[in-house]
Amino acid sequence: MKSHQRKLLCGIFLLCLSLWLPACAGGPAVFQGPTYQERFQRAEENLFQQAEESYRHQVYRQARAQFATYLDRYPKGEHALTARLRLAELVGLLGDWRDSLRRYQALLVQQPQKDIALKVRYGVGRAYFKQGDLQQAHRVLDSLTADELPPDMRFSTQALLAEIALKEGQVPQAFTRLRLASKDLVSGDREWFEDLKTRIVEQATPEQLENLANLYRDTPLSAVLLLRLAKVAQKEGRTEDAQKWAETLKERFPESKEAATLDRLLKGQKRLVACLLPLSGEFANPGRHVKQGMELAAKGTFLELDFRDTANDQGVAAKMVQDLAADPHVLAILGPLSSAAVQGAAPAAQEAKIPLIALSQKADITQAGDYVFQTFLTARQQVRTLMRFALERGIKRFAVLYPDSGYGQAMMQQFLQEAQNQGVEVVDQEAYSPSTRDFAPALASLKAMYQQDQGSPGFGALFIPDDAAAVAAVAGQLEAYGLRNVQLLGTNLLHAPDLPELEARALEGIIFPDAFFARDTSPAVQEFITAYRQKYNENPDYLAAQGYAVVRLLLKALGKDKNLQRADLPKRLLEVKELPGLPWFKGFNNDREAKLSLYLLTIKNGAVQLAQ
């Protein structure tokens, strides 16, 4: 009986199995999601591409953090070598070339594939150069030229060797290297090339210029040598020599831009304006943006802009202004940008009686005298705009949380001064280390002050003068200290076009000012933005807009009077009350500081918008 039951159960099981299997075989496929390995690879690729995007857009601090995060999570990932290469460059670009060199050397020890190895060797040479070890830099880069390099690297290597030769005072060798770099200019950095070319011919003696022009007779690059020879002769009053070099230039290179420039100069159609900007070193990127804005504004006008690379050095800037003032062809000076440079340039300009329009936040720089003007977004203007916003909303008690840096201290002091002027109270000021992301001690003190008055908050607004990453980190910790409902105020450092999603979410509702807003519907503003994008293939920022505006200001002051003298220019500048279509400039005050109509901005739904 038991045996019969077992046979019966076995038969039922086999029958069910036979019915189930065909159904599975002929039925629809069962969907299976991505495997763990696929999700892992996708997350790795996304993180790397985010870091690459930040790098391409020159958001270097963010890129450095993203590449570091990538390596923490995927130390042996598909892009690990490239990430380490990027980090080696980024730490240098952010100021630590010693650490950059160490990272490059560590990469060489790993014996990477050839394309990476070539980039690493270039990075080693560049790091030595940035640290001032020219001999080692030359040795590394010169050995690199013996390898078969891609065109962009050939250009960069020869251009950097030209920089080294120039720093060593070897002008002919610098020109030779630049000539080699010119062969790969299509793949290289044209702006760097043009800047190098300008500096080489400016540093060369007339004898060196003449020797090089004779040695490289048929090289198009020689046109700039002949132009410089003609300019020097004209400046020194050697009319016959100037004419000789002009004729040589037009004979050898009749279609060159140098020939066209010389024609205009000899006919007196151009007014020369010197522009003192940081075009190399730590502040080269801001200097580049200002320069591009200036070039765009001067295009097709009777102004010739003479750009000079200005170090962040008071004495060097003063000497540069003295030399420019001695040239009667220079009508005015625009710049410098940095506080140290402008402190040297402004008194020198006043003493030489040459108009100078400073592009610096440095306070009270126009006190040097009536030839010194200032048109730049200052700490005072930002704080006044924020204070006006707060007072209109009935906020009369404030706190300040600031980084213990030069910028943070200057902004904090300006905020205290404006609060005193407006008769409102700053109940607390707390500092933090610029490198920290732990704000607990400062926030604990603010919490105690906020809760001190029973029944009403101790302050209604908190001013944090720092960049978006730091302020977002503070904002993310406020709720834990009962400070969620405090109105946050910041500076134009928050005006970043590509805020990461987490930072944007943390900064929702913050208020900050700026003198440029790309979404302004003003036709002239949009015309500027469109022209800038077409010429430089990137979006303009405030610095580019400021460079554009200051040249437009000078043109407005000159009007059609191409022969206006230096002594008459200050009066003309004071008469300019606005720039047609550019809404931020509203003339100069009695201290010759630009009056700016600032935009009041906020972050809403992850994007920078006009505040209501």
| Tokens matching residue 414 | 């300006």
Count other Cβ atoms within 10 Å, centred on residue 363.
Answer: 17
The SS3 of residue 384 is helix
Answer yes or no: do 509 and 390 share one domain: yes
Tokens 């006006």 belong to 388
Closest CA to 403 of 433, 429, 370, 448: 433
Domain membership flag for residue 539: no
Give a yes or no: residue 245 inside a domain.
yes
Which DSSP state fits 29?
Answer: P
Q: For residue 246, what pLDDT is reported? A: 85
**366 and 390 part of one domain:** no
Rounded to an integer, what is the distance from CA 460 to the centroid of its chain?
Answer: 34
Task: Tell me which of 374, 403, 431 is where a domain ends.
Answer: 374
Q: How far, in Å, CA of 171 to CA of 150, rounded? A: 26
* Final residue in a domain of this structure, among 493, 514, 535: 514
- Asked whether residue 38 is assigned to any structural domain, the reply reads no
Percent of the chain past pLDDT 90, that is, above it, reads 67
Q: By the 8 A CB rule, do 499 and 590 touch?
A: no
User: What was the pLDDT predicted at 1?
Assistant: 45
Check pLDDT > 70 for residue 64: yes
Rounded mean pLDDT, 188-217: 91
Angle at 248 between CA 246 and CA 249, to 5 degrees: 65
> DSSP characters for 550-569?
HHHHHHHHHTT-TT--GGGH
According to DSSP, the residues that pair with 332 across neighbouring strands are 273
Give yes or no for residue 142 having a pLDDT over 90. yes
pLDDT of residue 11: 52
- The predicted pLDDT at position 543 comes to 94
Predicted local confidence at residue 268, as pLDDT = 56
Give the residue-averaged pLDDT of 528-537: 93
Say which range, 263-277, 280-294, 329-343, has the weakest mean pLDDT: 263-277
The pLDDT score that the predictor gives to residue 549 is 94
**Same domain as 280, residue 361:** yes
Q: In this predicted model, what pLDDT tens digit does every residue of 73-82 receive, in sequence order?
A: 999 999 999 9
Residue 424 lies in a domain: yes
Of 374, 403, 435, which residue is a domain's last? 374
Tell me, what CATH number does 472's domain have?
3.40.50.2300
> If you average pLDDT over every residue of the chain, what do you get?
89
Same structural domain, 352 and 436? no
Q: Is residue 27 pLDDT above 50, yes or no?
A: no
Is 216 a domain residue? Answer: yes
Q: Which amino acid is at 32?
A: Q
Neighbour-count burial of 559, counting CB atoms closer than 10 A to its CB (0-12 exposed, 13-18 middle, 19+ buried) = exposed
543 lies in some domain? no
Same structural domain, 281 and 262: no
Say whether pLDDT at 49 is over 70. yes
Pairing of strands 599-604, 511-514: antiparallel
CATH code where residue 108 lies: 1.25.40.10
DSSP string for residues in 395-419: --EEEEEEESSHHHHHHHHHHHHHH
- The verdict on 82 and 124 lying in the same domain is yes
Specify whether the CB–CB gap between 279 and 195 falls below 8 A: yes
Residue 24: pLDDT band (50, 70, 90) is very low
Out of 28-42, 115-129, 436-450, pick the least confident.
Answer: 28-42
Whether 558 is in a domain gets the answer no
Q: What is the largest CA-CA distance in the chain?
A: 131
What is the pLDDT, as a whole number, of residue 242?
79
Confidence of residue 111 (pLDDT cuts 50, 70, 90): confident
The predicted-structure confidence for 454-492, as pLDDT tens digits, reads as follows 668 899 999 999 999 999 999 999 999 999 889 999 999
* Domain shared by 352 and 408, yes or no: no
pLDDT at 212: 92
The residue whose two tokens read 């006044």 is 384
In this prediction, residue 369 carries a pLDDT of 96
Distance CA 344, CA 419 (A): 31
Residue 12, pLDDT above cutoff 60: no
For 338-374, give the secondary structure using H, E and C.
CHHHHHHHHHHHHHHCCCEEECCCCCCHHHHCCCEEE
Residue 258 belongs to what domain range?
204-269
Does 335 reside within a domain? yes
The yes-or-no verdict on residue 10 having pLDDT over 60 is no
Q: Are 63 and 54 in contact (CB under 8 A)?
A: yes
Asked whether residue 425 falls in the same domain as residue 357, the answer is: no
485 in the same domain as 507: yes
Residues 387 and 510 reside in one and the same domain: yes
The confidence score (pLDDT) of residue 271 equals 85
For the cut 80, the answer to whether the pLDDT of residue 315 exceeds it is: yes
Q: Is the pLDDT of residue 382 over 60?
A: yes
Residues 352 and 280 grouped into a single domain: yes
Residues 509 and 414 in one domain: yes
The number of distinct structural domains making up the chain is 4
pTM over 0.75: no
CA–CA dist 488, 464 (Å, integer): 7
